[in-house]
Structure 1
């Protein structure tokens, strides 16, 4: 039996298969238990390692390679997810908070290390491990509509400073530990790191923009270019005696502006979050020595408490200092504190790098007790941080959550946006592009488009994409053209029933989604209407669906529809409203257009959790009431406010009284590629009436 297990451990294909099975099954189970999915991956590493079933060997080349790639990818994604545009808006305050939330934990960690007998170099390294943070709570503030709150934006921007500074301390500590340190070598190291950073940040940014400009829509090559940039930067970091994760993080910052929020970034994060990053966490679990871990908890408990408690106290001290400097409210202070608590990406990657570094005498930069304490720190803060964020972010001042770059109140913001929304279509013909590809849904889509176009005295543009390769004499293309012509002839017949001008188009293109988006741009479309698709297979997850790509590439709003009745029979419209943003107003504009065209009524549903202050609920209701009046919705619009902690359940239950539910479509990403539940996704699975998923371009 032992021989068989040894053979299995040494077989890379078996190891890879086991890893895939673990990644597929364990994270969802732990998330159901209200635990982060990464805890499940660490648990799997422990169970499958030498202290468990011993099906995986941490020392094998295949496991080591996959875990190393995962570590690099984790730091790359950490840099890629930082919103540089938001950082630039609050860069001064972000730098101040970043400096404070780095220095306080650094000093606290150094103090803890010295008190437990570690050398100065190791103690400073311990402090740097506490100084960075991972924004695990970001999806929560996004769900609550608080991303534009200044305190939240400052905390997000501070991540750049803390991560870079922590990695810089790691690079210097490693150099000292290896015996390569002297004042001259330090200067040489810093100069080399400076030149290297400039080359990566500016050189890769320029090369990326040039390459993307020249390759156009060749997403596969662009994806490969980004991967090459990551590993080139990692190798370059090693050449100047800096840990490879420093290069990966800088590469993420460098290509941030290049990839934007397009489909290439989606693929990068999908591949990382699905494969490489989970490999890293499983690898971390394999490295855990359970007897030593238990021994650390049992005999080194003061060290564990010192590291965990020191982090919590130091991060709070930084947040309270910023509160008094910039006069933030107490809810903003606690939100900044909770957002800066989780220690995952940079902390784990740097801790593993420091643990694996040995000098000529075989001594590690940090010992096993510190490494195990960092694991405990990660487990506690990755749970505590998001829980506290959910608690305090609901109390943030509503007036600071409006998506407005300049300071102002809800009243002035609405006054600015409403005239823009009312006048957008006054000068141009209201063109609606309707892709035709499914004969069974064709009539409902044309009917919906006809209702909207007729109300705005516009036209509908049914478009059928005939896919083709390089050769225009391909018999398959002729067949596609004939099918497209049949679909468009039928579309013209349906539109004539509603006396709406129609401009059918057949487009030959090698990509259906981009063919739709290009047609919409050429026709100066104000809206794209598409049918619903439930394609959720592996190919759809990896490469995205046609709907995904149209959302990313279109220049105008996209309405994806699942109609269970004729559009003319849909009169009662339910529109859940989370917060007041320009995107929300665009969605309300679409609902109003359909209601006016179909003699319908709209109910705006806002759901607050039980911890939301009553004053904030009242203020939001007042803002909605003003919106209803100003946007001329008063005769056909109701406002419904509900206090409940499960918004998805409320929406599903309320939908039984309505003919149509309109939901905003937008995507969420999380640090490290960790999955986060999505209210919209839950509603879509259980909704039993007609629905429209309405999304803005690049949403």
Structure 2
């Protein structure tokens, strides 16, 4: 026994760790956690850091990971499938519909010109025709890495920007189809016309079945499953894998199935919490591992020493940049854009990430693309994903935003009237005794004496049997909370109705009760705790924000609302739904004799004349609310919107933030949205207001409630 122990003691620690499969996973998790955060602070895309991590950890660096490591191969394959699924899921058909003619026009230009450029480049370097076509297809699509920048600058609805965003639908679908044809051609000795027609026939039939069948099945399942977010999530994931398996059975590439599955459930999932969870599942683990895997494949010494690779890489980068420029130039000529708009369109269409990397990875693995092409495309991704957003940040500043009045009057609340106030009902869900007092005070300040109704709502979670001890305990707890709420309301000098509801979930109970009571506003609270379960299956606030029929005020109150004297309403850009937030703030201010300030942060590079125009436009718009005490309007020029708001908020007791969902790049590898950044760092009281009429919700949400967990 003793000799065995000596042998074990002498065995190198590195060898023991090398035999343990959990070690690579632990290192991967550390990389995925740390590297994107570091690169985003350097204002570089997190995916660049992940690819670089793969190079450092792989054979070209420390050689900790090998390219044939089973756990990485499995996770990266799932990441590739998930990436293509999210590309389909993120397609915003509304953008295409809003500016249909120009979107299709630019899509044609930015597809045909890069395709021809790639084919020409492939033939110059002696590649076969199908390889050259595949290289051309890699150039056609683009990833909207600059979307958060465009949203911050308030130019999303500008005709040029809208056309560029809408064109991605056509380029992505076309690139997927060409990729499948090129990979399918490897199975044929001779690529005849009849062979191509057979493949196209299979694709048409398969696409029709997936799009129509999955859409119908999804609608039916979501209708029958009610509020069970876990089952909805599993249904969508199952749909993806069924689409992949059926694609492989008929000889179609699996990423085509994943992409079509994303398109099929696009309308079913919509902007629901299920979509948040789908994006979260992929962006936390699978998609980042795919980027790390790409880095492992890079042969850095061979990359830098091969003259052919360097020439190909240089021409690939120049070819994409020039072809995208020519496409934007043709759009300028056809639709009479100015140079600033044309250059903005060009910069938005530069980044080559999602479709480009997926196609390159599959082409390389199938033997259709060489290592030199793989190196060139990875270099293309690193350069364009960095250069594109930087150019957009500089160029889109001068693009004319959507007219302020046109963008915001759609959310303008109706003028106040006695009849409206008489029907003004506030529902206050109570669950946490520590926040209950301040919530009741907030409702009392918002209510109009003798014209409004306050309902204290408590939810007792249902059990399988109505005589279950757990339900009885929940009912008793709810009754105690409601009794306490009545005592608090009497101390405040207001009348409150108590409502006890039995429901299977807190969120559904709140939204259903609010609808039944014809509520005008839900006032609820949160803390900053969050966890894996809430991110995966959602929390109360996520669901209430999405499902409620009326306005929702999510509050974090650090002191009594009765002490609030200065209220700040930050406005990131001129297309944010600010008017309901201003009206909400003014309702509080009228009761407390407080002062409201509307703050707009604009880019430091904007001229003084444009700043003056912004101030004038905002003053005119706010005047439409016909407030007795108009708010103060401030315009600040600053390079960091969040930092400017945080600095200004130090002088205020309450910050009212309009709730807007933000677009998320497939993979989630972008910085948090503005509201989330501010909510996490503010030390004063906060109200996040989702107006009932607010329809400004974009493709992949990263909701404010991701920073919250409990009511």
Quickly name the TM-score band, shorter chain normalised: over 0.9
Aligned match of 1:443: 437
Q: TM-score, normalised by structure 2?
A: 0.91
Note the alpha carbon deviations across 1:309-353, whole angstroms, 9 max, x for none: 111111111112112222233332222211111111100000011
1:693 aligns with 2:710: no
The answer to whether the Cα contact below 8 Å between 1:464 and 1:507 also exists between their aligned partners in 2 is yes
1:172 aligns with 2:175: no
The answer to whether the Cα contact below 8 Å between 2:279 and 2:666 also exists between their aligned partners in 1 is no
Cα distance in 2 for residues equivalent to 1:513 and 1:157: 34
1:605 aligns with 2:615: no
User: Would the alpha carbon gap of residues 305 and 428 (structure 1) be closer, same or farther in structure 2, given more than 3 Å must change?
Assistant: farther
1:551 aligns with 2:551: no
Cα distance in 1 for residues equivalent to 2:82 and 2:411: 40
The answer to whether the Cα contact below 8 Å between 1:421 and 1:586 also exists between their aligned partners in 2 is no
The answer to whether the Cα contact below 8 Å between 1:79 and 1:256 also exists between their aligned partners in 2 is yes
State the 1:629 CA deviation.
2.4
Aligned match of 2:130: 121
1:518 aligns with 2:518: no
Aligned match of 1:214: 224
- Superposition RMSD in Å: 2.3
User: Would the alpha carbon gap of residues 27 and 639 (structure 1) be closer, same or farther in structure 2, given more than 3 Å must change?
Assistant: same
2:23 to 10, 14, 17: 14
3-state DSSP class of the match of 1:209?
helix
State the 1:41 CA deviation.
1.5
Note the alpha carbon deviations across 1:582-640, whole angstroms, 9 max, x for none: 72222122122222233222111111111224443233211111123222237341111
Note the alpha carbon deviations across 1:72-126, whole angstroms, 9 max, x for none: 1001111111112222222332222111111111111112222222222222211
1:483 aligns with 2:477: yes
Aligned match of 2:613: 619
Cα distance in 2 for residues equivalent to 1:150 and 1:102: 19
3-state DSSP class of the match of 1:432?
strand
The answer to whether the Cα contact below 8 Å between 2:463 and 2:470 also exists between their aligned partners in 1 is no
Aligned match of 2:150: 141
1:290 aligns with 2:300: yes
Cα distance in 2 for residues equivalent to 1:206 and 1:623: 46
State the 1:368 CA deviation.
0.7
Aligned match of 1:680: 675
Aligned match of 2:383: 380
The answer to whether the Cα contact below 8 Å between 1:458 and 1:501 also exists between their aligned partners in 2 is no
Cα distance in 1 for residues equivalent to 2:532 and 2:121: 48
Cα distance in 1 for residues equivalent to 2:11 and 2:56: 17
1:507 aligns with 2:501: yes
Aligned match of 1:314: 323
Cα distance in 2 for residues equivalent to 1:393 and 1:275: 33
Which deviates further from its counterpart, 567-576 or 633-642?
633-642
Cα distance in 2 for residues equivalent to 1:416 and 1:60: 55
Aligned match of 1:671: 666
1:226 to 209, 215, 236: 236
The answer to whether the Cα contact below 8 Å between 2:142 and 2:351 also exists between their aligned partners in 1 is yes
Cα distance in 2 for residues equivalent to 1:396 and 1:485: 57
Cα distance in 1 for residues equivalent to 2:19 and 2:166: 44
State the 1:425 CA deviation.
7.1
3-state DSSP class of the match of 2:368?
coil
State the 1:401 CA deviation.
5.4
**Residues 180-329 of structure 1: matches in 2 within 5 Å?**
180=189, 181-296=191-306, 298-329=307-338
Cα distance in 2 for residues equivalent to 1:586 and 1:419: 7
The answer to whether the Cα contact below 8 Å between 2:576 and 2:660 also exists between their aligned partners in 1 is no
Cα distance in 2 for residues equivalent to 1:369 and 1:415: 54
Cα distance in 2 for residues equivalent to 1:413 and 1:129: 36
1:394 to 394, 397, 401: 397
Cα distance in 2 for residues equivalent to 1:508 and 1:171: 52
User: Would the alpha carbon gap of residues 155 and 179 (structure 1) be closer, same or farther in structure 2, given more than 3 Å must change?
Assistant: same
Which deviates further from its counterpart, 23-32 or 202-211?
23-32
2:589 to 595, 598, 606: 595
User: Would the alpha carbon gap of residues 313 and 10 (structure 1) be closer, same or farther in structure 2, given more than 3 Å must change?
Assistant: farther
3-state DSSP class of the match of 1:675?
coil
State the 1:505 CA deviation.
1.0
State the 1:2 CA deviation.
11
Note the alpha carbon deviations across 1:453-505, whole angstroms, 9 max, x for none: 12682111111112232122222222221121111111112222344332111
Note the alpha carbon deviations across 1:352-382, whole angstroms, 9 max, x for none: 111111xxxxxx3111111100000000011
The answer to whether the Cα contact below 8 Å between 1:75 and 1:245 also exists between their aligned partners in 2 is yes
The answer to whether the Cα contact below 8 Å between 1:442 and 1:491 also exists between their aligned partners in 2 is yes
Note the alpha carbon deviations across 1:556-581, whole angstroms, 9 max, x for none: 22212222332222121111112344
The answer to whether the Cα contact below 8 Å between 2:438 and 2:557 also exists between their aligned partners in 1 is yes
User: Would the alpha carbon gap of residues 678 and 525 (structure 1) be closer, same or farther in structure 2, given more than 3 Å must change?
Assistant: same
The answer to whether the Cα contact below 8 Å between 1:430 and 1:456 also exists between their aligned partners in 2 is no
User: Would the alpha carbon gap of residues 580 and 40 (structure 1) be closer, same or farther in structure 2, given more than 3 Å must change?
Assistant: closer
Note the alpha carbon deviations across 1:24-52, whole angstroms, 9 max, x for none: 22221222232221122212222222333
Note the alpha carbon deviations across 1:177-232, whole angstroms, 9 max, x for none: 44352111101011111111111122211111111112111221111111111122
User: Would the alpha carbon gap of residues 295 and 514 (structure 1) be closer, same or farther in structure 2, given more than 3 Å must change?
Assistant: farther
User: Would the alpha carbon gap of residues 664 and 413 (structure 1) be closer, same or farther in structure 2, given more than 3 Å must change?
Assistant: closer
Cα distance in 2 for residues equivalent to 1:517 and 1:455: 25
The answer to whether the Cα contact below 8 Å between 2:601 and 2:641 also exists between their aligned partners in 1 is yes
User: Would the alpha carbon gap of residues 266 and 401 (structure 1) be closer, same or farther in structure 2, given more than 3 Å must change?
Assistant: farther
Cα distance in 1 for residues equivalent to 2:321 and 2:38: 28
**Residues 404-415 of structure 1: matches in 2 within 5 Å?**
410=405
Cα distance in 1 for residues equivalent to 2:50 and 2:412: 48
State the 1:299 CA deviation.
4.4
Aligned match of 2:703: none
The answer to whether the Cα contact below 8 Å between 2:431 and 2:458 also exists between their aligned partners in 1 is yes
3-state DSSP class of the match of 1:136?
coil
Which deviates further from its counterpart, 191-200 or 325-334?
325-334
Aligned match of 1:91: 100
3-state DSSP class of the match of 1:472?
coil
Which deviates further from its counterpart, 28-37 or 46-55?
46-55
Aligned match of 1:65: 74
Which deviates further from its counterpart, 609-618 or 465-474?
609-618
The number of residue pairs the alignment matches comes to: 683
1:659 aligns with 2:653: yes
The answer to whether the Cα contact below 8 Å between 2:555 and 2:687 also exists between their aligned partners in 1 is yes
3-state DSSP class of the match of 1:491?
helix
